[in-house]
Structure 1
Amino acid sequence: MGHARRRRSWGKLRKLPSKRWQASYVGPDLARHLAPDTFDDEDAARGWLARERSLIENEQWTPPAERAKFKRTSGYTFEEYANEWLPKRRTRTGEKLKPRTLSDYRRYLDDDLLPEFGALPLRQVTVAAVQEWFDGMDPETPTRRAHAYQLLRAICTTAHEEGLMTSNPCTISGGGRTNRAKRIRPATPAEFLAIANNMPERLRMAVLLGGWCALRYGEIAELRRKDVDTKNGVVRIARGVTWPMTRDEATGKLTGSAVVSTPKSEAGDREVHVPPHLVAELAEHVKKHADPGRNGLLFPNSTGGHIHPRTFGWRFHQARKEAGRPDLRFHDLRHSSAVLAAMSGATIKELMSRLGHSTPAAAMRYQHAAEGRDRAIAAAMSKFAQNE
């Protein structure tokens, strides 16, 4: 009588005479691969098959025997593993990371993780070591600490799934979350206008689009004539420009150049209606200041090409100071615009569409602004009684 075997849609399970379970599958190389170890129960064996299939689907697969051999012979330091992990990382939908995201990950890895964990074998990255590192991070930079922790957790999660760590040492409750370091005081329409009026004429509309249409700087800097429909008062957001930083291996210095790419998510590809009072001014800007041709940039640098955020930022810094809002960052205009939209009665779904958010969580931050309308709503309802 043969031993129990289990065939599934992918992979094969076998119960051994010892009552332990063996798992195997045919890999991308068309060879059958056995799990390096047997398993206590069927669920554990199925879990291993699921992790192997995930590696294949995400193009991160190598034969499990090779991984086991490397683990035994080299110890696999955190730096070795992280440097292999980063270029293979994919989004939840299986796409490669955008250049800006890859650049940010590289920066957090080089500046925050490798100095602490780089030389350690993976199995020596313990819960205690992670907690000590986290506690030692600057509490004045909570966003950076949260992002670095998120990256560490993602790396360790994959290492654990591949059997290179006995468990994931990133167990800090809320470690990847952060509260806003400062409370943003939304700008008013009058302040939008005051800041815009203090900008050079060719950049005035950039501030107004940021304030009224909630566009990101990279989206504004990449706008072209073909993206603007002044007849219908619509701006199409189909691309953005970023300046991802890369480290020169010879000098160790960080450098960056403009990279144009599509939005991070499908939701980022959107049409945004321009408030009617701005449409004529937008048309005039396109006529006077945009580069020629359908692909002409709306806000070209005086020397050609995209305006670097540092160049624009210096102008914006002066303008906000003269307008009496030295605290306001350019990205805060986006926040201010979202608050205005919420106060105008926009639903979560409508905010998501206008801002290019793929999940409700981000858009919900602005709904608090609409709570103040409850008194006005109650007063408006009373008018019905007065008309009876």
Structure 2
Amino acid sequence: MANSRGNRRRFGSVRKLPSGRFQIRYPDPVTGVMRPGEETYPTKTDAEVALTLIEADIKREQWTDPDAGKVKFGDFADKWLKERKLEETTRERYEGVLRLHIKPALGGKFISEITAARVRTWRTRLLEAGVGEPTVVKAYQLLRSIMTTAVDDELIKRNPCRIKGADVYDVPERPVLTVPEVYAVAAAIQPQWRALVLLTAFTTLRLGELAALHRRDVDLDARILWVRRNQAELGSGKLITKAPKSRAGFRPVSFPDLIVPDLERHLERHAGRGQDGLFFVGPRGGTLRRSNFRDDWTAAKAKAGVSPDIHFHDVRHTGNNIAAQNGASTRELMTRMGHSTTRAALIYQHMTSDRDRAIADKMGEAARKALGEDDDPPDASGTPVAQPE
């Protein structure tokens, strides 16, 4: 192998182009065929340094085929998504993020063209366009995961998603209801949803977990309900009933005796029939959906005089707040709510039902105090509910 002056190099060659710039050539480590460098250089020294770096990368087995990155990001992302085993709800969410926030700017670019600078520009433009920070964070996280696979597939050397702090955002504090407000909404809403409001507040279950409850999952004597499944609704309206995402999602949750009469009344009047019947059903006896009671929830908030900004999910947050105020530790709160992390998973197995019952009892005691020391909670008609002696 000779350079433009006839000298032989140990690795590769350098030649001067008619333009005055210098071009390198080197043997492809896979095929052995001589290939030109991806760029030209202003001086011969620069070209020789580039050859030295390429040779070092090959010897360290860190060389990446420059042509490998010439794959359109949109095509690679589609393939990435197709090859992943994902829950339907997660797949739908990823497809939406790619379609709306990533592909319009990056879909037509080669993988190798997506540099750190281009990622910064893309992210900045999303924020400037008014896309919410949580959505931008999710888009960035998805892009980073896809580009990580591109690195693993040796299409690029390094992940260009390296913006410090771009994968997290501060979650704003959501409002919470007071116990009297919870009962005011429960009294104002349609009777079939009263137990839904109270159970959400005193068990902090997700709506999907409550919608998937069966009669057999609720033990009024032990004051425990068992979370065994979760219901999710796709954008198409399709309902999916699935197991919880993690072992922490399978859990017993205690509730205070304060709401037992309400649950008994619900079972008598509104729940599905038989032990396999759903605990909560829709207005026509079908499956509970958010849309089944959205209008009733809005009307009940107005009637009860609570803030219209309160979301139904905030009732779950309210219950967590009540439990925290009455001595529940962070670990215990995570267990009640079904949160799961690697660290927390080792702790969940040590939680006892007795301790969870104590948390529920304290929640009930706090609720009684908030409603009035000597008052019983009102039922849907405003009449105090008789408590068991």
TM-score for the superposition, normalised by structure 2: 0.69
Per the TM alignment, residue 190 of structure 1 is displaced from its structure 2 partner at its CA by: 0.9
Residues 229/122 of structure 1: CA separation in 2 closer, same or farther (3 Å cut)? same
Report the secondary structure of 2:253's partner residue. Answer: strand
Per the TM alignment, residue 322 of structure 1 is displaced from its structure 2 partner at its CA by: 2.5
Question: Alignment partner for residue 160 of structure 2, among 163, 169, 177?
Answer: 169
What percent of counterpart residues are identical? 33
In the alignment, is the contact (CA less than 8 A) between 1:197 and 1:204 conserved in 2? yes
Residues 268/311 of structure 1: CA separation in 2 closer, same or farther (3 Å cut)? same
Per the TM alignment, residue 38 of structure 1 is displaced from its structure 2 partner at its CA by: 7.9
Aligned to 2:288: 307
Query: Partners in 1 of 2:263 and 2:284 — Cα distance?
Result: 22
Number of matched residues? 289
Aligned to 1:107: 96
Query: Partners in 1 of 2:71 and 2:149 — Cα distance?
Result: 14
In the alignment, is the contact (CA less than 8 A) between 1:349 and 1:360 conserved in 2? no
Per the TM alignment, residue 240 of structure 1 is displaced from its structure 2 partner at its CA by: 0.9
Query: Partners in 1 of 2:133 and 2:303 — Cα distance?
Result: 30
* Structure 2: gaps of 5 or more residues: 1-28, 31-55, 345-389
Report the secondary structure of 2:59's partner residue. Answer: coil
Are 1:223 and 2:204 counterparts?
no
Moved over 6 A (4+): none
Task: Indicate the RMSD between aligned Cα atoms, in angstroms.
Answer: 2.7
Report the secondary structure of 1:271's partner residue. Answer: strand
Aligned to 1:53: none
Decide which moves more: 157-166 or 296-305: 296-305
Query: Partners in 2 of 1:81 and 1:219 — Cα distance?
Result: 35
Q: Deviations along 1:33-53, whole A, 9 cap, x unmatched?
A: xxxx985338x69xx9xxxxx
Residues 265/167 of structure 1: CA separation in 2 closer, same or farther (3 Å cut)? same
* Structure number with higher relative contact order (C-alpha < 8 Å, ≥ 6 residues apart): 2
In the alignment, is the contact (CA less than 8 A) between 2:123 and 2:136 conserved in 1? yes
Aligned to 2:352: none
Aligned to 1:341: 323
Per the TM alignment, residue 319 of structure 1 is displaced from its structure 2 partner at its CA by: 1.6
In the TM superposition, 1:189-338 aligns within 5 A as: 189-245=179-235, 255-323=236-304, 324-338=306-320
Query: Partners in 2 of 1:87 and 1:202 — Cα distance?
Result: 42
In the alignment, is the contact (CA less than 8 A) between 2:68 and 2:155 conserved in 1? no
Per the TM alignment, residue 168 of structure 1 is displaced from its structure 2 partner at its CA by: 0.8
Query: Partners in 2 of 1:147 and 1:79 — Cα distance?
Result: 17
Query: Partners in 1 of 2:112 and 2:60 — Cα distance?
Result: 24
* Structure 1: gaps of 5 or more residues: 1-20, 23-36, 49-67, 90-95, 246-254, 363-388
* AA partner of residue 82 (structure 1): A
Residues 178/259 of structure 1: CA separation in 2 closer, same or farther (3 Å cut)? same
Report the secondary structure of 1:310's partner residue. Answer: helix
* AA partner of residue 335 (structure 2): S
Per the TM alignment, residue 205 of structure 1 is displaced from its structure 2 partner at its CA by: 0.8
Per the TM alignment, residue 140 of structure 1 is displaced from its structure 2 partner at its CA by: 6.0
Question: Alignment partner for residue 158 of structure 1, among 149, 154, 158?
Answer: 149
Report the secondary structure of 1:256's partner residue. Answer: coil
Per the TM alignment, residue 135 of structure 1 is displaced from its structure 2 partner at its CA by: 0.8
Residues 237/109 of structure 1: CA separation in 2 closer, same or farther (3 Å cut)? same
Aligned to 1:352: 334
Are 1:82 and 2:77 counterparts?
yes
Residues 130/195 of structure 1: CA separation in 2 closer, same or farther (3 Å cut)? same
Q: Deviations along 1:83-112, whole A, 9 cap, x unmatched?
A: 1111323xxxxxx32222222111111111
Per the TM alignment, residue 337 of structure 1 is displaced from its structure 2 partner at its CA by: 1.1
In the alignment, is the contact (CA less than 8 A) between 2:227 and 2:252 conserved in 1? yes
Per the TM alignment, residue 336 of structure 1 is displaced from its structure 2 partner at its CA by: 1.4
Question: Alignment partner for residue 117 of structure 1, among 106, 124, 133?
Answer: 106
| Structure ID, larger Rg | 2
Are 1:130 and 2:119 counterparts?
yes
In the alignment, is the contact (CA less than 8 A) between 1:142 and 1:179 conserved in 2? no
* AA partner of residue 283 (structure 2): S
